[in-house]
Structure 1
């Protein structure tokens, strides 16, 4: 297995041993055929040399085949296929939206339809393979329906976090229910305060904060609801350092469901459009969650969440905050929200270019 200097490397050769970044992450796996843009990536990471397989002069089609595999369908065709694949998920999502909206609006006068909610939640979760946390956007998003979309998305994300953190399978659906109903106390909050586009005064802030207590009270009398679901309605704004509300609990006093729902709720609250604020970049929100994990959120849950939602996006097309379009080509394990981006042949390292960030995934 000859070792070759990156300065002498030509496209089309096959890598004979894994190539690692200076921090130990795997940059390229054994067997990868080097493409022209890979040379820029190697240089960006200051890789001096790599091991390659001996060139087979009888078969020089490696680069051709690799290039052929990178061909993408035309944008219009790709979008149409994507919509067709997503249709079953959208259908179940919109049924869930109608049901949870009705439940929030009627709970003050009637009993919560727990069985109907569970059946529809199971139907939605059966399509979960089509749900991408960073890229999914509800159709026909109405800013007044923010609270209902947040409930559904927090539910799905909480379900996945429960899986990723190794929680027992019997708890997955209950955690999803906790995410779905965590904000149900808002049904008792004055709509003028809840949807106010203006800064809230101290009295209005207190009214908003009461939604946690209201939620627990509403769910307390439903025999079909798990206690962890009730406590998530009460505790999802608590912080692990005891600075949250309503009871200023520390992390060890919070229910495990609550710690998961808190992460999902914050993520979707910041990435959904509200009447008074545009949706924020999911990558910027992930960075803010990371900062919050130092004393505010469960750090283990936050780390797992960030690693899981970012590890599948090599090759994804993105729009940067300066409106340039590029493609994610590599993510450092220690900096998953700041990958290397290829923009018209230029490699941008977001770890170094701190003023640039991913605005949205296309």
Structure 2
């Protein structure tokens, strides 16, 4: 195993971890670099600095920066292969007019097999997105994000399986939309937009026919474009009338779409997509689910290197969920608070 330096929130520090930097409080040395962090030190820091970030050494199985990049590339290759398999599965549904539950179940198992390493999955989606593949790779990414969000919310194992089914199938209806309309870069006509808005219903009609499958799966497919203020489609329903699966997939779908669209105004840096999601939660996306999603995603940004708009590469130390665009970063041994340095901003993550 390799010992690597990581930055963790004080809440995640476990007694016995080794300090990677001197830990001080009011200029008093509490733990020297290379020494064990004891429970009483953690308690002292928790009382005074509940959101403190500490540098520690962790034993990780070969995850150096080089091997992590390789792992991300491997995950990208695996997810791309899954995209091809999903296309075959959707084509089979098109030929037979019905979904084979065994095929869907086997596909779910493949996705879930990789969710034990959420950090790599999230970074892969942030870095690569789904490119121009608006159906298959997009659906694989949305399934991964939806399932992770389901876990973070606290869904039980059965519900986790069901949200995975629903998110995998959520965009099947797009396969029945004319590709010229689906991939059109310019403004859609009223007729074209009406066609696009039909895809949740198309998917729902297929999924609801699957025998012995819980209705929550088809509801998630039907409602993933509904919005809490009633502005969504195809039903235009609002609030509690929207099934929880529809709300979960909506968050994952929106984040993935923004991350994949490199021309989107909110994709100019890794934090702007989260900021847009937060804004959407004020009226359109479920507020509580979005809050949980954002808080977990930013945790995977902390400790990563980020390129600033002046060319410097700094390490992200702390992210305030209430001011996502302005994290605390570390430039060598100097902390820079972007809340105070208004001319500086994060331009991209460096994995």
Tell whether 2:233 aligns with 1:268. Answer: no
- Give 1:286 shift: 0.7
Contact 1:238 1:248 in 2 (8 A): yes
Structure 1 unaligned blocks of 5 or more: 1-19, 43-48, 56-61
Q: Which residue of 1 aligns with 2:338?
A: 350
Q: TM-score, structure 2 length as denominator?
A: 0.76
Q: 1:29 to 1:174 in 2, by over 3 A?
A: closer
Deviations 1:42-98 (A, max 9, x none): 9xxxxxx36655x9xxxxxx34669x977999xxx9355225656875565344222
Within the candidate set 296, 299, 305, 1:311 is matched to 299
Q: 1:156 to 1:343 in 2, by over 3 A?
A: same
Contact 1:159 1:176 in 2 (8 A): yes
Tell whether 2:92 aligns with 1:78. Answer: no
**Deviates most, 285-294 or 121-130:** 121-130
Contact 1:114 1:224 in 2 (8 A): no
Question: Secondary structure of the residue that 2:123 maps to in structure 1?
Answer: coil
Q: 1:192 to 1:243 in 2, by over 3 A?
A: same
Question: Secondary structure of the residue that 2:277 maps to in structure 1?
Answer: helix
How do 1:1-362 residues align onto structure 2 when only pairs under 5 Å count?
35=21, 49=26, 52-53=29-30, 62-63=32-33, 78-82=64-68, 85=71, 89=75, 92-110=78-96, 111-132=98-119, 133-137=121-125, 143-273=131-261, 280=267, 281-332=269-320, 334-336=322-324, 338-353=326-341, 356-362=345-351
Counterpart Cα distance in 2 of 1:33 and 1:78: 18
Q: 1:224 to 1:349 in 2, by over 3 A?
A: farther
- Give 1:314 shift: 3.0
Question: Secondary structure of the residue that 1:108 maps to in structure 2?
Answer: helix
Q: TM-score, structure 1 length as denominator?
A: 0.74
Structure 2 unaligned blocks of 5 or more: 1-8, 37-54
Q: What is the RMSD of the two structures over their aligned residues, measured on CA atoms?
A: 3.8
